[in-house]
Chains A and B, each alone.
Chain A
Amino acid sequence: MKKILIVEDDTDISFIYARALKNAGYSVDQAEDGVLGLDKAEANLYDLILLDIMLPRATGIDILKEIRKPGSKAKGTPVYLLTNLAQDSIIQECFKIGAQGYMVKAQLSPDDVVKEIDAFFHKNPKQGV
């Protein structure tokens, strides 16, 4: 079973996506802010991290940078950004740092997200360490 970490401060959204993913057969963990999320990411090795950008205490981009640092334990964990910010510049920056994908929450239903993640794992079966 694939393990997914959702880093999202909006509990409603977090709950909804977690539920959808669980129903789809994934194991889901949740973190409410970036720091917690980072801890969890390093403590457990997930197959995918869904990362929001607008987080308290640190932005998703900072977290992404931290994750991708050479010394990070979660260095190789795939990351999908799940956010409402859709600016090109942000998207490009995230990709540069090393995100695998970018999803605009507001335009997607939870099912769409599940489909995409399925597609992702289908294409990249051997993710994670």
Chain B
Amino acid sequence: MIKIPKFGILLKLSVVFIITVLLTIGSATALWFSMIQPILQKNIILQQSQLGKRASEKTEEFLKAKLRALIIHSQSATFLTGNTELEKLELGIFLAQDQDIQTLTVINKEGRETIKIDRNSLLPIVDLLDRSNSPSFLANTFRYTKEFIGEAEFSENGEPSIVLSVPMKTPSGSGRLTQLSTQVQALLPGEGNEVFGVLEAKVSLKDLFAEITDLGLEDGTVILITDRKGRIIAHKDKALVNPTVVIDKYPPIKQHVETVNESPLAHTEEMVIFDYLNENNVKVIGSHTHVRETSWAIVVQQSAANYYADLNRVLNFATLLLLGGIGISIPFSFWLSKRITQPLRALTHGVNKISEGNFDYRINIHTHDELDEMAKAFNQMTEKLKDSIEKLKSDKDVIASEKGKLEIVLSGIDDAIVALDHETKIIFINTPAEKLTGYQNNKITGQKINTLLKIYNHNLEIPVATYCALNSTKMEGVIFEKKAVKIHSKGGKERYINIITGKIKSNQNNKVEYILTIHDITKNYELEEMKLDFVSMAAHELRTPLTSIIGYTQILLEETKSKLTKKYFDILEKTYHNAKKLSGLVDNLLSVSRIEKGTLKLQLMPLDLISLAAESIDDMENLLSSKRQTMIFNPLKSQEAWILGDKFRISEVFVNLIGNAINYTPEKGSIEISIKERANKYLVQIKDNGPGIPQEAIPKLFTKFYRASGGLEQSSKGTGLGLYICKSIISLHKGRIWVESESGKGTIVFFELSKLNNEGRKKYIKNISLPHTGAIIRNDNLLQS
């Protein structure tokens, strides 16, 4: 079963999706925020600076206006007359003109107040003070003749006012003012611009301050004025106006105090916004604007809450956006993942089902996308798989039934079957093979063939490579066949077998397989051996009495030649001949048994075919004459025909063939023997004019026990072994023997043997005079000890 993984697509997709959304929205928000903030800040700055500017300008305007008025009035010619009443009048007009002025004072050159009128009192004040030390006087009369702006002062009621004064100067071009009399002052010619007094006004700041602190009232902005000492001299909240207390925990005020004493040029244009807590511990932001010409500053104080409110609004919006984004993205990503995982799960489920063996299962996905296609493809594959499996099943059934058949067939076979692979390792051996070799199939499979058995031909091992030729050109079919070989197996069991090796090409991998079919012929073989041994033994046994018979008969023939009648002598002769014949037959039997057993050995020596043939012919004379046949001998033109051969055996061939010719030729027939040269061979022909041999009989001529059926059957003698022996002997001499014959046209038997050249002959110079070399062996090496 394929399990759903822990960190599935759903989780992965969702995480990725959410992270993406978060990142996107977050960065967007941060960006926006970072963009908004300075704007907001700028806004605030703008607001504050605007207000501050307005307030300070107003203040400046106010003061300037007052001063201007003062200056104008100070320049009135009235003050040059010395007429105090006129001056008072002047001042009175002035006072009436400007409601802010509370007190007007004239201070003379010496610093004494000369005239002083007050708004609140009708009469001129007679209490005239010495003002020689007051800054108002000093500022104007001391070296720098400048107008004077005093500090803010507060009355007992807390009403603010300010002292302003200007120097009174003689007009330019005019001289000093001289006191001519107590009431008359005369202006004498002089340089002019001479300060003869100070005109001082005490101006109420109440209205001004009220006006100023009312600015920005709407949005909770507080405007206050502070002086050089950091005192709040104007504030909406009257309680906070405290001329005696220095408040510098208000950073704008503090900054003002710190910078007020610096040169005016040091005042930078840049306004600094501070955020701090006001008297009520409310967060505020404020800045100060210096009022020119004075040591005052306008402090604009706004509720920080507004500013932060804006910021918060922005933040809240961003957060909302973020959360909204997450809120959408989570379900969306779930949905999206599901769209992917669901078909995948369906696929997995389908695979599981199919791998369990349910080939009819089909996957249903209808997402109209690639997953859909995948499902279709998968279903197709399943369909094909189903077909293949069904086909395989039916093939398997076929194989099983074939295997069953094969097993039945094999079990019915007696022969041992061994199946080998291309490396001659055993794949399978059947039951007869188990019995033959003494090994069991399930124990021996996988081992090489030579652990199972070994094959011998006449005690020489036939190597595996011979009977399982890997490189034989034949791809399939029988590649090796051998009859009557020995097999050695477990426990040293020796059996005689016929073996056939079949080669087949395996379908699976183009490798070959060998099938050894082993037919146990031990019984037969042993029987054959027994037969041969029996024949051999019998022949030996027969020989001894035969020799005696021949011997005795020969003696009789010699001794009784003149003592017997012809009739009886003939009988004796016939007896002798028959005994000889019998002996010949016994010899044949013995030869055959030796040939069959493979024990026939040739004693090779140089032989002259011509003299050998002549000898054999001589031996057969009697036979010839009794049938009144004629024999023609045609040797070569040359005197000798040397070959390498076993004298006894070649003689045997001659005797057999000539004998056959005589036997199968009727009376008065003729036989011709010729020896010819053919390239490096000698060809011997034995021709008769007998009845010939029919075509169909010719192939079987040289087989054992074959006897031609001709009209002379009855008189044909022999065991049918003669030609077989001849063929064996000629074959052993590496020669060829064959027959040409036609019914009614006589027979020619041919045999050819290789020539022996002079060098070969020299090797075999000894022992050339032995009559029958097979029978007599000399021990030449041994001299008399």
Contact = CB atoms under 8 A, between A and B. Distances in A.
Interface of A: 10, 12-13, 15-17, 19-20, 68, 75-76, 78, 84, 88, 91, 94-95, 98-110, 112, 115-116, 119, 124, 127
16 contacts: A13-B551, A68-B785, A76-B785, A84-B540, A95-B781, A102-B776, A103-B776, A104-B774, A105-B544, A107-B648, A107-B772, A108-B775, A109-B550, A109-B551, A112-B772, A112-B775
A12 B776 contact: no
B376 to A, nearest CB: 89
Nearest to A101: B778
B771 interface: yes
Contact of B785 (A75, A91, A107): A75
B560 to A, nearest CB: 14
B462 to A, nearest CB: 25
Nearest to A127: B784
A13 B548 contact: yes
Contacts of A78: 784
Contacts of B734: none
A112 B779 contact: no
A15 B547 CA distance: 12
Given A88-B601, A104-B774, A12 B552 contact: yes
B555 interface: yes
Contacts of A102: 776-779
B548 A19 contact: no
Which has the most chain A C-beta neighbours within 10 Å: B543, B769, B772, B778?
B778
A13 B781 CA distance: 29
Contacts of B551: 12-13, 15-17, 20, 109-110
Given A78-B784, A98-B785, A102-B779, A19 B555 contact: yes
B35 interface: no
A100 B545 CA distance: 27
Nearest to B549: A12
A43 B544 CA distance: 30
A69 to B, nearest CB: 11
Nearest to B648: A107
Interface in B106-136: none
Closest 8 CB pairs of A and B: A16-B551, A12-B548, A107-B775, A106-B543, A95-B779, A104-B775, A102-B777, A101-B778
Given A16-B555, A101-B776, A119-B769, A76 B784 contact: yes
B539 to A, nearest CB: 8
Interface in B516-550: 540, 543-548, 550
A94 B779 CA distance: 9
B779 A100 contact: yes
A103 B775 contact: yes
Given A76-B785, A108-B776, A115 B552 contact: no
A36 B544 CA distance: 22
A110 B554 contact: yes
A12 B551 CA distance: 8
Interface in B571-619: 586-587, 601
Contacts of A10: 544, 548
Range for the number of chain B residues in contact with chain A: 20 to 34
A17 B548 CA distance: 10
Contacts, number: 90
B619 to A, nearest CB: 11
Interface of B: 540, 543-548, 550-552, 554-555, 586-587, 601, 648, 769-772, 774-779, 781-782, 784-785
A68 B240 CA distance: 169
Contact of B587 (A19, A103, A107): A107
B693 to A, nearest CB: 31
Given A99-B782, A105-B543, A115-B771, 6 more contacts: A16-B552, A20-B551, A102-B777, A106-B543, A107-B587, A116-B771
A107 B777 contact: no
B458 to A, nearest CB: 15
A100 B771 CA distance: 17
Contacts of B648: 107
A88 B779 CA distance: 13
Contact of B544 (A13, A100, A112): A13
Contacts of A13: 544, 547-548, 551
Contacts of A105: 543-544, 547
A1 B572 CA distance: 33
Given A13-B544, A13-B551, A16-B552, A108 B772 contact: yes
A2 B774 CA distance: 26
A101 B778 CA distance: 4
Contacts of A110: 551, 554
Contact of B774 (A75, A95, A107): A107
A124 to B, nearest CB: 8
Nearest to A103: B776
Contacts of A104: 774-776
A51 to B, nearest CB: 13
A104 B771 CA distance: 13
A10 to B, nearest CB: 6
A102 B773 CA distance: 11
Nearest to A87: B599
Given A10-B548, A16-B551, A78-B784, A101 B777 contact: yes
Contacts of B543: 84, 105-106
Highest count of chain B CB atoms <10 Å: which of A12, A15, A76, A91: A12
A60 to B, nearest CB: 15
Nearest to B545: A12
A14 to B, nearest CB: 10
A95 B546 CA distance: 28
Contacts of A119: 769
A10 B775 CA distance: 19
Contacts of B777: 91, 101-103
A15 B771 CA distance: 23
Contacts of A12: 545, 547-548, 551-552
A103 B778 CA distance: 9
A116 B770 CA distance: 8
Given A99-B779, A101-B778, A116-B771, A106 B547 contact: yes
A127 B783 CA distance: 10
A117 B774 CA distance: 16
Contacts of B771: 112, 115-116
A120 to B, nearest CB: 8
Nearest to B544: A10
A84 B545 CA distance: 12
B96 to A, nearest CB: 182
A115 B42 CA distance: 158
A20 B558 CA distance: 11
Contacts of B601: 88
Given A110-B551, A112-B771, A100 B785 contact: no
A81 to B, nearest CB: 9
A119 B784 CA distance: 16
Nearest to B540: A84
A108 B547 CA distance: 9
B314 to A, nearest CB: 128
Contacts of B555: 16, 19
